[in-house]
Amino acid sequence: VLTLLDAVSSRWTPRQATGLLMAMAGLRQQDMAERLEISQPAVSKLLAAAHWDATRALLARYETLVSGRSFLS
């Protein structure tokens, strides 16, 4: 699981990594857009390009494999 996450995350741009950290912290896309000074649709595209849905699923799976440690808000 971690090897797969490493492979995916190694392709993120710094801006995508920042966006994913915000998403993992539970920020709404509109709040992320304001902080990044971009539009909400641009945030949506940024998260899609960074494979946020797959990353979230992977982190959720990893969470089930370890003892109750939560990586998502």
pLDDT tens string 14-38:
999 999 999 999 999 999 999 999 9
- Residue range of the domain that includes 14: 2-65
- Establish if 31 belongs to a structural domain: yes
- Establish if 72 belongs to a structural domain: no
pLDDT score at 52 = 96
Question: What predicted TM-score, i.e. pTM, was given to this entire model?
Answer: 0.80
- Establish if 73 belongs to a structural domain: no
Structure tokens at 1: 């699981």
Other CB atoms within a 10 A radius of the CB of residue 71 amount to 13
Q: Is the pLDDT of residue 72 over 70?
A: no
Q: Is the pLDDT of residue 67 over 70?
A: no
Q: Which residues contact 26 (CB under 8 A, 6 or more apart)?
A: 72, 73
- Domains held by the chain: number: 1
